[in-house]
Structure 1
């Protein structure tokens, strides 16, 4: 293998060294992790904008309302058994998803926030008021609000229980009312009346009423219950926006629109839940409230449904009232993309029967399964594949390297010609005075000629010599002990009966430079070409009676410096030896783990920073 080929192989091996490849994958892992933990949230919500109402005028500023359903925050108090590492990791990533989603959502700057129930995943399982208070405090830390943002909460079946799961003691409902607010509320925002309904309590009262076979118009409502609240609501002329945790009744064949991910909403009752309100209960709500629009939760998926409303104010006036079932804010196995609802309010038009002063739009959050199961798992798969291919290529390159390794240019064996005879016979070629690889019996600073059998040895100077100062044969051992001519400065000395003369014949050996002038024997190096000075900016000013100057030079790029930096990332001979000892499979596993620990450490730091 020639010198240029060996240099090319060495440079290519440095450019594709193990250290460089591993560091590239580590940097890629950090960038991918930052994107998966932060960037994907901002990217998904970058297209979310507040909707514009039909009644919005050019000079009117709308009120922005954020609707959040089924936050379902988990809490360690709800799990009193032993927790495995998989459960711990699931709960950790679950809460991280809620925190980051909420942080990005609050960048929309809403004026009011409504939580449509199920703020807590296991609020009904709390055994004391103190546990419930700790749970609510954890919710407030996960979903912080600015001081200028007003928030309202309605109960869900997981917050206070429902049916057979409703606690026998009253501490749960008491704790909810103290920490979250009243169960039933009437709030006026921008000339719109928001009716906040206790849907779990309405279901319990409905079962009590149905068991006695009493219709709503003859039912004596329970004191402080939702039925009594509905009968006392005074909406006036303002549009009514009904907020309920449980959706209203509809046929099983009713569709939910294009944003639905799973099947339609069907009637169903189970342990502590009910998919929809009963038909008579839904008719009772619509007839008494005459809502302009209804928002509900609990179902986890998005659904749009139109309810027929017969107005009591205008006979035979039938209209369609939309109900929007909001997506769950928390990740769930039922849906791929969680979300929330943006609502804009403007002053209503009193001349219209059903006002067009409310506009709403759906915003989708990132897919958590895509982040962890596709993005991160896919990166781990490609990292393993890339390291395996790299080590296979590395094994093929290391196999013939031992056969192609040349001998050192300073080593010559007795009876064997020098590997570079042209360099040895050149009189002006210099070699180190000492060489650890010199053969036994050779004095330091001496070089043997190609004809090793002749026994003739020349002394090499430590600095380049001219043709006139070529070394002479070594004649006697006493010359080496001469203090005036140490070996490292040995050169040809003129004889006593001869004088140094300059002959024009030497011009044949000197040559001419590019300009045609004869090069001096004492200055063989040609003149360096003139380099253009890089761009610079200079500013002069006077400070304390003295003139100052600031100069800023343009950054320069040096290819040699870049190659030196790449050389620092090289593995060296020891890495090749370790690679041969470990083998292909073990080396691949070690390379993958060297990338994995950086990924895991970065993820742990980001998670710790998110919980500050």
Structure 2
């Protein structure tokens, strides 16, 4: 049978529906989040250009836009963005607001002080720090402690720009354990860590500190340039006393410089002494068991360990004179080095080939030691000690056991130097000793050594790391001003004292993490409550992308299209509103898309159909709640985690 269609216009063949552009756009639209699909649908439903929208349409569009933007999830995301910015940036800036040099130093208006920052015990976390901590917790510990140190040091440079930065030892935590070419750790757990591991730790130290040091160049006013000195060793770098291995110390000095040295900074003479090695003088030899500084055969036990530091102290006048003379020559703008007389002499004629003699100028002297000097037991450390504040407000309190630095020792450590070592150290450094800076204890301590001439004060500097037992790490800033005559080295103004100190406290990282945890709990509670309300009371929800109202049970049978009420309205997600009553029983039908979006089978939700029991209904409700909950959690988490990764990656 044939049919004719006169005057019918020609129609080209329809393209394959699976490859048509319109179908591709539909698939792309279906892949978008529900709120984006709703937004596109509303755009399509808007009047075409040229037709003015009525006030009611504009009002409805405004309400719809507000509902999409003002959502609980979006509000939580904004709250997290602000919180993370505060915890990763703001707290570091705020912690240094009171540390600006002009906030605390008190010099005449014409003064040009030299600014010094003392850093103690960064103790880079390594396998020695928490040997039983499993992965990935161990890796995260290293990551976050390094990040804290880098941020703190970078903030110090960018905001304060000290002219000199001096480290007070314990740069590493397990530096003494890592093998050299001839030694290995006595602990079986660390024998596998070779010399290459120590060198990687050295590079790590450089990335954290050396790379950030240049950030303060623009703020320095010292015409002789800035300096960072990290050669003073601690007991975690070398060991302590007779436990030190000479190859381990040689390696440290090869990379960081000699631990015994003299530097002139801001017209003050800084004397650094390797006291962890010097302490071997009055410790028993690990092989012979003898003690003291000498033995019957003329040799001293542990001599290879303490000899270098002792010889340095015995020649202190020579070292000081050389350093101070060199500084005066630099201030006068003279060429570096020494001038020799050029003459032909007899071989036996002495002295002409020697360096010209220098004289000690007598600049104020500052002693640097990793281990604090000896003091009487229960000597109070003052009000800035974190763990144990003073037990009394009496500033003249002579004893305070809890507030004091404990006089004790153990394997590879000693809280204070012995009285013998301390007396020898102070007497040989010189009569101009005005201050002592030390580390090792991790907490702050400040005392006056009245047993020594001039009662020099000693400050034990806090650790810079939040993993060293203090909640508020810190560092000490020192302002030096001692104007001198470049020719004679004599002071031009009678100033006493010539230095001022200020303790800077850093953020409490543990409290920041606790704050994050509290916000996380609040976020989960809010999103869970929202999921319950949206699932059980959908009409009260203002979300345009709300999911199904009640749990759904799929019916494995074909449902004729005619059985569906014509008043049923299909929501953007396939969510239907209430249909008309059928046999006094309400039901909802949620079509599922088949080919070309045609409904092939349906989902019923309602009462009276006998298709599920009360237990199944409860499980379905719970599943719908959890589904909505995890969907919102993921929506918030992917934005917040991305922002957090950006913050910790960028700085």
TM bucket (normalised to shorter chain) is 0.5 to 0.7
By how many angstroms is 1:275 displaced? 0.6
Secondary structure at 1:114's aligned position in 2? strand
Q: Which residue of 2 aligns with 1:94?
A: 145
Which residue, 244, 251, 263 being the options, matches 2:376? 251
Instruction: Please give the per-residue CA displacement for 1:214-260, whole angstroms capped at 9, x wherever unaligned.
Output: 59xx9988675222222221254211101110111122311111111
Which residue, 467, 474, 486 being the options, matches 1:332? 467
Corresponding position: 1:608 with 2:649:
yes
Q: Could you tell me how far apart the structure 1 residues matched to 2:528 and 2:567 are?
A: 42
By how many angstroms is 1:438 displaced? 9.5
Q: Could you tell me how far apart the structure 2 residues matched to 1:52 and 1:581 are?
A: 59
Instruction: Please give the per-residue CA displacement for 1:361-391, whole angstroms capped at 9, x wherever unaligned.
Output: 01111111011122x1111011122223333
Matched pairs, number: 425
By how many angstroms is 1:307 displaced? 0.4
Q: Could you tell me how far apart the structure 2 residues matched to 1:112 and 1:46 are?
A: 20
Corresponding position: 1:181 with 2:257:
yes
Q: Which residue of 2 aligns with 1:554?
A: none
Q: Could you tell me how far apart the structure 2 residues matched to 1:282 and 1:354 are?
A: 28
Contact 1:268 1:276 in 2 (8 A): yes
Which residue, 112, 124, 132 being the options, matches 2:198? 132
CA separation of 1:22 and 1:198: change in aligned 2, threshold 3 A: same
Q: Which residue of 1 aligns with 2:23?
A: none
1:89-488 equivalence runs, <5 A: 89-107=140-158, 108-128=160-180, 129-144=195-210, 145-146=213-214, 148-153=225-230, 154-163=232-241, 165-167=243-245, 170-207=246-283, 211-213=290-292, 224-234=307-317, 235=320, 236=360, 237-263=362-388, 264-289=404-429, 290=431, 291-311=433-453, 319-332=454-467, 334-347=469-482, 355-374=496-515, 376-395=516-535, 397-398=537-538
Q: Which residue of 2 aligns with 1:424?
A: none
Secondary structure at 1:101's aligned position in 2? helix
By how many angstroms is 1:582 displaced? 3.7
Q: Could you tell me how far apart the structure 2 residues matched to 1:400 and 1:356 are?
A: 72
CA separation of 1:333 and 1:173: change in aligned 2, threshold 3 A: closer
Instruction: Please give the per-residue CA displacement for 1:265-286, whole angstroms capped at 9, x wherever unaligned.
Output: 1011111111111112222222
Instruction: Please give the per-residue CA displacement for 1:428-468, whole angstroms capped at 9, x wherever unaligned.
Output: xxxxxxxx9699xxxxxxxxxxxxxxxxxxxxxxxxxxxxx
Secondary structure at 1:299's aligned position in 2? coil
TM-score (norm 1): 0.62
Q: Could you tell me how far apart the structure 2 residues matched to 1:55 and 1:96 are?
A: 34
Secondary structure at 1:88's aligned position in 2? helix
Q: Which residue of 1 aligns with 2:332?
A: none
TM-score (norm 2): 0.58
By how many angstroms is 1:14 displaced? 7.2
CA separation of 1:77 and 1:262: change in aligned 2, threshold 3 A: closer
Instruction: Please give the per-residue CA displacement for 1:277-318, whole angstroms capped at 9, x wherever unaligned.
Output: 11122222223324201110010001111101444xxxxxxx
Q: Could you tell me how far apart the structure 1 residues matched to 2:457 and 2:494 are?
A: 14
Instruction: Please give the per-residue CA displacement for 1:70-109, whole angstroms capped at 9, x wherever unaligned.
Output: 1112357999999511111121111111111111011111
Contact 1:55 1:356 in 2 (8 A): no
Contact 1:72 1:118 in 2 (8 A): yes
Q: CA RMSD in A?
A: 4.0
Contact 1:267 1:276 in 2 (8 A): yes
By how many angstroms is 1:52 displaced? 8.5
By how many angstroms is 1:50 displaced? 2.2
1:549-588 equivalence runs, <5 A: 582-588=623-629
Which residue, 27, 33, 45 being the options, matches 2:78? 27
Q: Could you tell me how far apart the structure 2 residues matched to 1:399 and 1:388 are?
A: 18
Secondary structure at 1:105's aligned position in 2? helix
Instruction: Please give the per-residue CA displacement for 1:502-548, whole angstroms capped at 9, x wherever unaligned.
Output: xxxxxxxxxxxxxxxxxxxxxxxxxxxxxxxxxxxxxxxxxxxxxxx
Contact 2:128 2:174 in 1 (8 A): no
By how many angstroms is 1:609 displaced? 3.1
Contact 1:162 1:273 in 2 (8 A): yes
- Compare CA radii of gyration and give the structure with the larger one: 1
Which residue, 578, 583, 596 being the options, matches 2:637? 596
Instruction: Please give the per-residue CA displacement for 1:185-216, whole angstroms capped at 9, x wherever unaligned.
Output: 0111122110101021011223159954459x
Q: Could you tell me how far apart the structure 2 residues matched to 1:113 and 1:50 are?
A: 15
In structure 1, the gaps of 5 or more residues are: 312-318, 402-435, 440-573
